[in-house]
Amino acid sequence: MTYINSDKEDGCVFCNRLNSPQEKDRENLILVRASLGFVMMNKFPYNSGHLLIIPNRHVPDLRNLSDEELLSLQKMLVLSLGVLEDLYHPDGFNVGMNLGRSAGAGIEGHLHYHVVPRWNGDTNFMSVLADVRVVPQHLRTTYDQLKLAFSERGIP
């Protein structure tokens, strides 16, 4: 609800983060910068470790990407799954993207994958009763753990 009710910044949130200095990566939750795409944490995660994989180029649809961009995003996806698996040992993952507002895209002009680690029994009553999500780890702590894990594996 915080995201839904918050004032929206001018321009594209992803382009704004990508174009900010690397010294602000922790503040902006950017974990990996590659030549054709980047990985960042979701500021309003569904679960701990909820990642976004985003092309550097501002495009709304997969069909607008080059073969090189598509391959780069897939490599970042594979890397992200491996990091999350090693660090958090989830029971599974939700991986996908919402293309278009009617499909649930909150940022529809700049496509992005969601990677959400899942654990058996990770749903609870809080989101039904209070419109809140319980995430068991502070966002900055999660960032620091993930940043180290990504840096140990290298950039695809």
Cβ-based neighbour number of residue 112 at 10 Å: 21
The active-site residue out of 50, 58, 89, 112 is 112
110 catalytic residue (yes or no) = no
Tokens matching residue 21: 């200095």
How far, in Å, are 1, 120, 130, 137 from residue 77 at the CA level?
27, 22, 32, 22
Cα gap 87→90, rounded to integer Å: 9
Cβ-based neighbour number of residue 19 at 10 Å: 10
Active site residues: 112
